[in-house]
Amino acid sequence: MTTNTFLTSLISVVADLSTHMPPEQRYQRLLQHLRQTFPCDASALLKLEGRHLAPLAVSGLSEDTLGRRFVIDEHPRLARILASNQAVRFAADSDLPDPYDGLIEAEDSRLLVHDCMGVTLFIDGEPWGVLTLDALSAGTFDGIDPVQFNAFISLTAASVKAVGLISSLEQRVSYVTRTLNRQNAGHNLIGESEGMRALRNEISIVAPSELAVLIMGETGVGKELVAQRIHLESTRADQVMVYVNCAALPESIAESELFGHSKGAFSGAVSERAGKFELADGGTIFLDEIGELPLSIQAKLLRTLQNGDIQRVGSDRQIKVNVRVIAATNRDLQQEVANGLFRSDLYHRLAVYPMHVPPLRERGKDVLLLAGAFLEKNQQHLGVKKLRLDAGAKKALQDYRWPGNVRELEHLLSRAALKAATRGNRQSGIVTLSAAYLDIAPDSPEGSGNALADVSITSAPPMDFKGAVDEFQRRLVQQQIALHQGNRAAAARALGLDRGNFHRLLKRLAI
């Protein structure tokens, strides 16, 4: 590269520093300048978060790469780059696996990386992340001038610092944020759609407060994950968060579970027992599926929310608790109030700060980012070097309506990975998932929002009509029970059946 060409590239990077643009666009521009200056097949900018590296921008790599998290201990090349304060280049015959094998967007994306180099970005003397360059042809980086490369890296670090992400490494960062980066990387809300950005903004607004939060959304959208983020970004992050599944609380023991009981309060109460609210004292309590709570318990819960007092079953003593309340539901609680199934006063106590989690079908390409994260997790469980999606699989994932939302996507990819990860399908340790492994109809109707899109009837003879119908019903019911994590009451509602008829159906179908 001539000096003039290189200087022109540096001037472009400097110009971007003074231009207002969103962080993700700035990072993407950096990679564009990098590939123009130092030609390669792919590049990536990854941020160090605890013991893993999270991609912030990629160029020449599959879109689902942005959803993956590269655990440093499992990727020796990334570990070696992070351990050095100089650029690190790997020999073409290096036996260390490349983290991007199978992810480069080339005509044959199964090809392995044959020339790789990377460098740690340091900001204020601390490692911030990693910049990587990869090529499919050996010797691609032979002609790189180290002086020019180091100059470009210095400007890259300056641009990253300008974005403001340096705050996570400075001394003034709060204990809570450091804890999140170090210990809770698994609680990230993956997605760059408008709905997810708005949701993260809402979380950042309400988390530091003490307001009660009501999280609303369809089954499987990740309401519990949102609750965890609110707790972890709150001033109570170093205290406990207690989870309560209200749908799993029979009315006979719900009061005892929530508020505890004294010895002898009822048959079987052989000792005193603290309830969930006592266990959550000083921290957060998450009341999942709050719409399932019996009316008789709703009145007692309201008293606790109003006064901060609880009373164990069988005791007259009032116990003061200091608890932040987060609740979640997939029901329309306002309609439940109108129908007399949920207390109006409790609803308004819980919905001080209502928050809606968007369904997956409204999140566009977020499905590919989530798929990348789930594939990364599955390849670790299955001992596979790399799981990747082909073009047909990506299109199928984006075209599907996802009645079970993120949870359905996770389970579907787990099944697909298990089926695809056979010895015959592996090439250089890379397993490719095609649409055939996904068990979803690529032409799912646009208006469908139910499980019928994921259920098919095989007309393999011999089979009588009643047997075929029974099999169809059995698969549909089993699918809904799985989507609702074994909650049969929720599955019955999703199918439009009352509980009595639903249980009779389960018995008839031997489920």
DSSP letter (8 states) at residue 104: B
What confidence score (pLDDT) does residue 8 get? 59
> In sequence order, which residues have a C-beta less than 8 Å from that of residue 507 and are 6 or more positions away?
none
Cα–Cα distance, 44 to 511 (Å, whole number): 49
Q: What is the pLDDT of residue 184?
A: 43
Concatenate the DSSP letters of all residues of 452-474 into one string. GGG-----PSS--HHHHHHHHHH
Asked whether the beta carbons of 423 and 460 are under 8 A apart, the reply is: no
DSSP-derived secondary structure for 298-350: HHHHHHHHHHSEEE-BT---EEE---EEEEEESS-HHHHHHTTSS-HHHHHHH
Query: Which residues touch 447 (CB under 8 Å, ≥6 apart)?
Result: none
Q: What is the pLDDT of residues 336-386, one digit of tens each?
A: 999 899 999 999 999 999 999 999 999 999 999 999 999 998 988 888 888
Give the C-alpha separation, 325 to 144, whole Å.
57
Amino acid at 166: I
Strands (E), 403-510: 430-433
Residues pairing with 278 in the sheet: none
Using CA atoms, how far apart are residues 405 and 410, in angstroms rounded to an integer? 9
What is 280-309 written as a DSSP string?
Answer: TTTSEEEEETGGGS-HHHHHHHHHHHHHSE
Check residue 61 and report its DSSP letter: B
Handedness of CA 180, 181, 185, 187 (dihedral sign): positive
Q: Would you say 177 and 171 are in contact if contact means Cβ atoms under 8 Å apart? A: no
Q: What residues of the chain score a pLDDT lower than 50? A: 14, 17, 165-186, 443-463
Contact 105, 60 (CB under 8 A): yes
- The neighbouring-strand residues paired with 126 are 123
Half-sphere exposure of 453 (CA within 13 A, CB side): 21
Q: Alpha helix locations (H) across 68-145? A: 76-82
Residues in the chain: 511
H helix count then E strand count, the chain: 18, 15
Element housing 366 (H / E): helix 366-382
Cis ω on the peptide bond leading into residue 462 (within 30° of 0)? yes
In contact, 129 and 48? CB cutoff 8 Å: yes
Furthest CA-CA distance within the chain = 87
Q: Please tell me the distance from the alpha carbon of residue 186 to that of residue 194, in angstroms, as a whole number.
A: 22
Do 254 and 301 touch, CB atoms closer than 8 A? no
- What is the C-alpha separation between 207 and 326, in angstroms, rounded? 10
DSSP three-state, residue 492: helix
What pLDDT was estimated at residue 284?
95
Among residues 40, 37, 41, the alpha carbon closest in space to that of 1 is found at 37
Contact 103, 65 (CB under 8 A): yes
